[in-house]
Amino acid sequence: MPETGNRDQEPTPARRPRRLLFVCSQNRLRSPTAEAVCQGVEGIEATSAGTNNDAEQPLTGDLIEWADVIFAMEREHRNRINKKFRHQLKGKQVHVLGIPDDYAYMQPELVALLKVRLQRWLGR
């Protein structure tokens, strides 16, 4: 007769949040807005960076390695990420959101667009 119960089984460790990294050029408008949209979403940690050297938070290899999923605002950003961080990207998902540099920080239209484009990852 098979044993029942969970004797000698260790408790399952808490699942770590999914880490999302948002990337634009300057890290001033689009990617910080995306980061803010994700704040407070259960199971998600988010941060943002820019591909330009003078970005508010320049993109680094450490950020690439930290992220589970990377979101580039435009194809140009994905291309820069792929070129500069090819080795750190192994096994990483990089998605292009297709959001042009036409919005202000936290502009309602940008927030609405991000919520639609990120629905799959945010579970909203």
Per-residue pLDDT of the chain (124 residues; tens, 9 = 90+): 444 444 444 444 568 899 999 999 999 999 999 999 999 999 999 999 999 999 999 999 999 999 999 999 999 999 999 999 999 999 899 999 999 999 999 999 999 999 999 999 887 5
Domain contains 94:
yes
Domain contains 9:
no
> End-to-end CA distance of the chain, in Å?
45
Domain contains 2:
no
Question: 10 vs 2, 13, 53, CA distance in Å?
Answer: 19, 9, 47
Whether the CB-CB separation of 68 and 18 falls below 8 Å is answered with yes
Domain contains 6:
no
In the numeric block, the tokens 């927030």 are attached to: 111
Q: Please state, in angstroms and rounded to a whole number, the distance separating the CA atoms of residues 66 and 32.
A: 17
Model pTM?
0.87
CATH number, position 30: 3.40.50.2300
DSSP 8-state symbol, 29: S
Tokens of 96: 């292009």
Question: 124 vs 58, 65, 104, 112, CA distance in Å?
Answer: 29, 26, 23, 12
* Domains: count for the chain: 1
